[in-house]
Structure 1
């Protein structure tokens, strides 16, 4: 009985074990099916997804096979069209490159100026304490361009000192004044000066007196053929108008120029008294502090009643017979403006010179943005200051000017000789016989 119960128990146990094993298999199958559904739902193309379904690839391959010949022909035509278009674009680009090169060549002389302006203006600055801020005044110089006039470039390389020199224009009409002019320069010991000879006689005269000279070819590059006759036979005012055209080459070559009329007597070296902080540094026609450096002039119009007084700013003009130009863009622009106006207007060069320097921008006109400095009128002295004031004042007569410009008087030669006698030869009464003005 005991053995039978043991066998039955064992059978029951085995039966239960088999039943449990089958259940597990069914559960596994169900779990696998569910997992398959989940996998199929989230990964319909498997873990490694192709770029296109197989049927699509097959379809595309079939299309390529069918249309391969047509597509090759169309592709060739497309490539040809693209090539033609690219060639046209390249031709246009080459034209643009040529235009840009030309603009670059024209702008080359202003490159140094632009670069320095970028350095100065590119970085923003805070304003300093009250009374310490100061705007830009000294413009950078242009890049020297010797191709403008190689002959003149070689001469200036030998004559100039620190790339600056005195320049005077002369023809045979001012031969005697010219002799006093260069004799006074030699006496002072100024080495850097040159005469632009406007005719062969003056060129020979300078060479025979060991004076640096440049015999300009008046026909070179001058559209106005009348310039040659003006240069050879013109009077003071006519010749004076030519200097603005001729000076441009000096500045383009990178030289600072102290333009000098020949009715000037040199008593000291002017280069020791220049500030060189402006584009234009000029002597004045003024004869005292107010007229030379400017003043507030009140205009009275009684019929305006309460507003009868109008304040105006006045200053006597710069003298166009003695001024110092630095080789900057504004200086060259000034020369161009004056030259252009004198070519089309019957005007006095000194008036035009000052109008272009001082007239501000206004509707219809862009003013010149050039920095200016007025020279000390007791050092760079005009003949009105000398004959009207200085010679009559015991203290002022002790001042030794740098130059005396006989610009206010037509009897230039005799007054120039008197200036030499007074300041060089020590003749105290040399200036006495002359009236203040002209007779």
Structure 2
């Protein structure tokens, strides 16, 4: 009996094992035949062809949208990176400029303590630059032969102003001024200087500048000087720029202060206009605050000024020349804007010291014809260093009259001219 039960149990265990094995085999077969399961297969098989196409199309559209969004985001990201680089560069330049300014201040001398009240005086004279003859060896050779104490008078001229240049040269020779140089802007003036034993300099060919120099009128040539004078300063020379509508009556170098980067004659005709005044602006609508005080001064004349060879003077020339090269502007207006406009947000003003010349020594033609010639005492006592016929179009005749009055002593030489240009 016991043996029979053992056999029965063994038989049952074998059957269970066989059933398990058969189940495993069936499961594997089903997995091969229906890899996505019974329900998914039915669901997929129930989709129509159109539905499958729509599903595929929707997927494609989603993909395109994602690509478009990604491209747009990439573009915005690149733009932000560009703006960041620009801001970083501006910050770097600002820091560099601030550091350079600090170094320049330190290079001027050791730091000092402020003295007692009333004894403190700020620095007015910037140090001169080191001369660099490699800039223009030919010009350097000319300047060495004619300059006096490293200073020179420079006049730019072309054939259009030859008659006025003759009057000016005659006045220079009469005073025996040796350090006078004509920048000949064309072959005619070069030949004229050779014939009259006048020191001259003919620049190397420059297609752009030569076109202005050879054919330009008074204003065009006047604007050209800011490009030309740079090399004179780089060579370490103080330059007294003179337009050709000027008569010399004394040696101007004996009447300069040389305590500023720029020393210029004024267009002003009185103490107020030439040297500055507080001009009150009245706006009644503001009530209690109706009066606004403004500081005014008539412009420096860009036809007669002295430049010391300093970094500030060279920067002034560069600034003016750059602006004139980009737009048709009046050189005298730009000259004064760069000299006087202060620093402000997004603009750094020129840190140049400046001095206005005595208006009765360095006299403009408005002062002469509206004031001096009508005052008998001033006619006798006032003898200017130069007279600049800047306010009147009949320049040559007035220049000759100035010579007649101040050199030849003809007392009525100035009388026939009107005050203005009428």
1:199-243 Cα deviation digits (max 9, x unpaired): 000001011001000011232xxxxx3321110010000000000
1:317-367 Cα deviation digits (max 9, x unpaired): 000000000000000000000000000011000000000000000011100
Distance 1:288 1:218 in 2: 43
| Number of the residue aligned with 2:410 | 427
Distance 2:312 2:287 in 1: 43
| Number of the residue aligned with 2:174 | 187
| Number of the residue aligned with 2:32 | none
**CA apart distance, 1:394:** 1.5
| Number of the residue aligned with 1:350 | 332
Contact 1:268 1:403 (C-alpha < 8 Å) held by counterparts: yes
Alignment of 1:313-324 (within 5 A): 313-324=295-306
Instruction: State the 4+ residue runs in structure 1 displaced beyond 3 angstroms.
Output: 113-121
Correspondence 1:124 to 2:111: yes
| Number of the residue aligned with 2:397 | 414
| Number of the residue aligned with 1:139 | 126
Q: Residues 116 and 240 (structure 1 numbering): CA distance in 2 closer, same or farther, change over 3 Å?
A: same
Alignment of 1:17-416 (within 5 A): 117-118=105-106, 120-121=108-109, 123-219=110-206, 225-398=207-380, 399-416=382-399
Larger radius of gyration: 1
Unaligned runs of 5+ in 1: 1-110, 220-224
Partner-residue secondary structure (3-state), 1:416: helix
1:230-286 Cα deviation digits (max 9, x unpaired): 100100000000000000000000000000000000000000000000000000000
TM-score (norm 1): 0.72
Contact 1:116 1:140 (C-alpha < 8 Å) held by counterparts: no
Unaligned runs of 5+ in 2: 1-99
1:37-88 Cα deviation digits (max 9, x unpaired): xxxxxxxxxxxxxxxxxxxxxxxxxxxxxxxxxxxxxxxxxxxxxxxxxxxx
| Number of the residue aligned with 2:421 | 438
**CA apart distance, 1:115:** 9.0
Distance 1:114 1:185 in 2: 43
Distance 1:148 1:124 in 2: 34
Q: Residues 362 and 352 (structure 1 numbering): CA distance in 2 closer, same or farther, change over 3 Å?
A: same
Partner-residue secondary structure (3-state), 1:429: coil
Distance 2:147 2:208 in 1: 30
Contact 1:406 1:416 (C-alpha < 8 Å) held by counterparts: yes
Q: How many residues align?
A: 322
Partner-residue secondary structure (3-state), 1:296: strand
Contact 2:108 2:127 (C-alpha < 8 Å) held by counterparts: no
| Number of the residue aligned with 2:23 | none
Contact 1:280 1:325 (C-alpha < 8 Å) held by counterparts: yes
Partner-residue secondary structure (3-state), 1:395: helix
**CA apart distance, 1:369:** 0.1
